[in-house]
Amino acid sequence: MNLDKEQILQIATLARLQLEEEKIDMYSEQLSTVFDYINMLSQVNTDDVVETTQVTGLQDIVREDIVSDSSEEKRQKLITLFPEKVGDLLKVDAVFENAD
């Protein structure tokens, strides 16, 4: 299997990952190798096999939906983690570009 440079860039865009230009060829080669390897699963006949969705055997785990307060202290700790802020508000760049 061969994932070319263009495909790598497309995957990276979907995954929101900026890649260093000089490493794109390396990723192209490595990912192609990985897919060559994992493609060996196509040898396995799974026509009548049901896929695994969980391994715990647990079913319908429910609990009461109880509202609990978060302390002011915890709130402040979360605000401290903001990469950029204005007062207590999280600052991000505009989502939409300016029409002008």
The binding site for other proteins (CB under 8 A) comprises 3, 8, 11-20, 23, 27, 29-31, 33-38, 40-42, 44, 46, 49-58, 61, 63, 74, 77-78, 80-84, 90, 92-95, 97
Q: Which is nearer to other proteins, 67 or 94 (CB)?
A: 94
User: C-beta of 77: minimal distance to other proteins in Å?
Assistant: 4
d(CA 61, CA 25): 47
Question: Whole-angstrom Cα distance, residue 1 to residue 29?
Answer: 10
The helix or strand, by DSSP H or E, that contains position 69, with its residue range, turns out to be none
Instruction: For the CB of residue 79, give the shortest distance to other proteins in the complex, in Å.
Output: 10
How far apart (Å, rounded) are the C-alpha atoms in residues 100 and 96? 12
Residue 64 Cβ vs other proteins, minimum distance, rounded to whole Å: 10
In the three-class reduction of DSSP (H, G, I as helix; E, B as strand; rest coil), residue 24 is classed as: helix
